[in-house]
Amino acid sequence: MIKESFSKNPVLKLSFDFSLSVISFCEGLEQERKFLLARQLLRSGTSIGAHVVEAQNVESRAGFIHKFKIAAKEAEETAYWLLLSEYANHNPGCTELLARVDVLNKVIGKIISTTRKRNPVSYLLSFLLV
């Protein structure tokens, strides 16, 4: 059921693909014995997509916005951990992941702001048709 939704919903696909990239990056951190950074980044980076998925089945507009706000917070936390990794000595570069989490956060922010103005169902339908 969820798998079919990814092809129809760009934010689901974007967040899922980002989670897969975070998992791969964290596996590399663990190989370098950067366990604390890997654990924190794995939790926040994969949580973004989990909250986007949860938002698909909420019962109200407020619930929808709430789930996306949590996803936005997780994206900000993920950016923080990626920046730490970027600037810490002897860690692999993560410039691409930083750019992708920025895009993801902008999309999530746009969904939140648009949903506040419109009916979430009509917004998702218009988002899917673009």
Domain carrying residue 99? 2-129
Q: How many residues does the chain have?
A: 130
CB 97 within 8 A of CB 130: no
Residue 123's pLDDT is: 52
Residue 7's pLDDT is: 75
CATH number for the domain spanning 83: value is: 1.20.1440.60
**Does the pTM exceed 0.85?**
no
DSSP 32: T
pLDDT in tens, 30-64: 998 889 999 999 999 999 999 999 999 899 989 99
Determine the Cα–Cα distance for residues 34 and 20; give it in Å rounded to an integer.
19
Residue with the bigger pLDDT between 37 and 125: it is: 37
Where do runs of H (alpha helix) occur along 10-119? Answer: 10-31, 35-55, 61-87, 95-117
Q: How many domains does the chain have?
A: 1
For 32, 69, 81, 84, the CA distances from 124, given in Å and listed in that order, are 41, 16, 30, 34
